[in-house]
Amino acid sequence: MRKNLVWRWAWRELFHGQLWPVVAALALIIACVFALSALAGRIESVLTQQGRSMLAADLVLRSNQPLAPEVLTALDASGAEGSDQTRFGTMAFSDNNMQLITVKAVESNYPLRGALELQSDAEMHDKVQPGELWLEERLFSLLDVKRGDQVDVGDLTLTVSGMIVSEPELSFNPFSQMPAALMHQSDVEAAGVVRPGSRVSYRYFFRGSDNELAAVKSGYTLTDGQRWIDENDGDRTGDMLERSRGYLSLTVVLVIIMAAATLLLTCQHYADSRTQTLAMVKSLGAQRSWVRRWLARQLLMLMVMATVLGLGIGAALEYLLRLPLADVLPSPLPSYGMLPWILGPLVALLVALPALGIPLIRLIEAPAMSVLQEQSKVRARKNPWSWALASVPILALIAWSYDNRLLWLVLAALVLMLSLLAGLGVMVLRFAQKRVKRPAFKLALSRITRNPASSGAQLGALATSFMLLSIIWLLRTDLLEDWQQTLPVDAPNVFALNIAKQELDDYLSRVDENNIERSEAYPIIRGRLIGKNGDNYADLEPNREERDEALRRELNFTWRDTLPSHNEVLQGTWPSEGGVSVESGIAERLGLRLGDELTFSVSSQEFTATVNSIRDVEWRNMKPNFYFIFDPALVETLPANWLISFRLEQEQSDVLNQLGRDYPTITLLDLRTMSGRIQVILKQISLSLSVLAGLAVVSGLLLLLTLLRITLSERQREIMLYRTLGASKKRINTTLWAEYGIMAFVSGCMAVGGAELAMAALLKWGVELPVRLHPEVWLSLPTLAVGLVFLTVAWMIRGLLQPLRQ
């Protein structure tokens, strides 16, 4: 009978008491964690697939030497599927012409990821078979061949099978590209073009599970000239993927923090509202064990209801969040598995342990005397369980995100800003209190500053909430702006290389006649950096392999009278006579400073140049960029070829083909397919981050709503007291609006400063982007803060003033 009574009372308390906001807060945490983790898992899977499709495999081993057969056999034993590729440059001869080409010799299962599209008349193929030769579109005009014609590659005569429409494996180096052709790996030996001393590179592709790929890596020790490549090491997508993962995890944690704060406020309010009830029960003879059982049953029903409700809402929310991404997500979508179903309730439980446990421990300790003295503050005995419960979510967060620097920077900024903003807010309000004259504002400021601890906590919570919303949105904006610079929508997608000086003017005129937007023409000379301040790098570091990469190979040099528009001088002035401008990255790696005298070698001719400027270069913008730019008087007499870049749309292939036919000695590098793929990835990331940021904003608004609801409910007794003392309804109404308007404006202004400081730390040490100010939030955030608070107060103030309407 007693057990049934306990269950019935727990059930009634859940539905008719103050526990339904707790259920709502827990359900919010479960729904948000489920939706975000499921969507983030799917987005990460999609981005990983995109990155791997651009590699043509899950894992690639690049090598300048072929692997021994016994090594390949050992790697195959890992269980991962493998495919080999040999890449080399050679001359291709047709009956009418010849052309230097890049040959990729692949196996029949190539590619292991991504799509290979080969067109033979009206038929499409996706595999290369022995005896076949597939040509890039431009090669048909350069070699003057059509499908079925014969082309000689070394000692082997192959039949042209068709055209390469698209291939997954793409490169970004415009200085080492020639028109491409595909042949089968089994035909390489018969061609006889790979001999000792030939410039050949080898790629070994692997596809398999994470364990199988780990076994492949652990089963082989790299030697000089070899490296592993995965989706995080791609030329341009690696940093985007890494930063997007960091932002996804940061957003999930911040949503959890804001929902946990909502839960904590709700539970604290519930515990305060039930102190008298528990004191009355104890005064009637209830033992502490009975109170524990009563609360335990409430918590059990609460968690079950919140879990069912949260998982249901989370599944629906994940579906709704995917709707804006429908055009860019693949079909079918990768499954998110069981993790979100487990992670949502688990996170809610970890958050609920201190949020619910600590207030309820205090509630259990409430003495029976509280039924007679409601005003007296119940001082709970120090309970070690409170500290243990508080440590549970902290330890779980450390275990989950110990290596997420972005997250810990935000949390550190959050703790620091909460303290600073609370103290600063109280100081500002006290300063204002001495100078305002209007009674409503004076009374409002007096009410706010009467309890500095409570007012500071409220201001700090409001300011921190607004600051978190700003950080989430501003970080998303800065990341997207940086990624748009990676490949702007109007970025060049075709490079014309090896333009001789005598045909430069004619070629530029032809490009301009077709109304093609192009870059300036850059002279290109190939050379090496060999010394600094009279010391030869070979003497300073005899072991060639230990030197910087820029010292081990030839570099592309150019000269200019003026600074390129897409570069920025960080130190010094633009090169004068005998000067050279150095890119900041290589200057840092090699320890180069203004005034250093560098020695270069071009075509066996040595000369020196003085460093008189350091430049910032954005290598990802697809524009011609260089480590070293010389004063023209120093190097313009050296033999050079010229380079330009321009932009063509997909439907302008005939223009590209005509340029290839009319200028057969000029190399054209067509990056339109690659650019399109990068743009798709950027679009996916942009929409994904926008959707997640929107959900985080909603969570923050719910936190604000809860905070204001609780603080407004605490005004009920004061309003009745003011009314008893003769205050008019108008005066009370004006005072409430003034109080919350002042708090909203002050917290919004403080949030601007906090957001700028936090963003500076995040940009510098978190995502490693240039630090900048965000003037767009200086006015908009305080205005938004006042607007949101006023809307909430307007919605809830009627209930507070209702007893006054007689």
Please tell me whether residue 646 adopts helix, strand or coil conformation.
strand
Q: Please give the Cα distance from 724 to 276 (Å, whole number).
A: 25
Q: Which residue has the higher pLDDT, 290 or 93?
A: 93
State the pLDDT at residue 175.
47
Mean pLDDT of 577-581: 86
Q: Does the pLDDT at position 379 exceed 50? A: no
Q: How far apart are CA 213 and CA 13, in angstroms?
A: 54
Q: What is the mean pLDDT of residues 537-548?
A: 68
pLDDT at 744: 77
- The pLDDT confidence band at residue 291, using thresholds 50, 70 and 90, is low
**Rounded mean pLDDT, 525-553:** 77
Asked if pLDDT for residue 1 goes beyond 50, the answer is: no
Give the per-residue pLDDT at 767: 63
Planar angle of CA 239, 244, 245, nearest 5 degrees: 100
Q: 47-59: per-residue pLDDT in tens?
A: 677 667 777 888 8
Span of 67-81, 318-332, 624-638 with lowest mean pLDDT: 318-332
Q: Write down the domain spans for the chain.
A: 1-55+230-402, 60-227, 404-489+671-806, 519-646
pLDDT over 60 at 4, yes or no: no
pLDDT, position 171? 53
List, in sequence order, every residue forming a beta bridge with 605; answer none if it has no partner. Answer: 602
pLDDT band at 278 (very low <50, low <70, confident <90, very high): low
Is the pLDDT reported for residue 703 higher than 50? yes
pLDDT band at 775 (very low <50, low <70, confident <90, very high): confident
Contacts of 431 (CB under 8 A, 6+ apart): none
Spatial separation of the C-alpha atoms in residues 425 and 549, rounded to whole Å: 53
- The more confidently predicted of residues 40 and 175 is 40
Position 376 scores a pLDDT of: 44
For position 329, what pLDDT does the model report? 61
Mean pLDDT of 241-253: 65
- Determine what percent of the chain is predicted with pLDDT higher than 70: 65
- Higher-pLDDT residue of 381, 701: 701
- Judged against a pLDDT cut of 50, whether residue 236 lies above it is answered with no
Q: From CA 269, how far away is CA 291, in angstroms rounded?
A: 19
Q: Is the pLDDT of residue 95 over 80?
A: yes
The pLDDT score that the predictor gives to residue 242 is: 62
CA–CA gap between residue 694 and residue 669 (Å, rounded): 40
b or e along 144-169 (b: 16 or more beta carbons within 10 Å of the residue's beta carbon)?
ebeeebebbbbebebebbbbbbebbb
Percent of the chain with pLDDT over 90: 4
pLDDT of residue 184: 92
Higher pLDDT, 380 or 436: 436
As a whole number, mean pLDDT of residues 612-639 equals 83
Which of 5-14, 54-63, 72-81, 251-260 has the least mean pLDDT? 5-14
Longest dimension (CA), the chain: 108
SS (H, E, C) 329-373: CCCCCCCCCCHHHHHHHHHHHHHHHHHHHHHHHHHHCCCHHHHCC
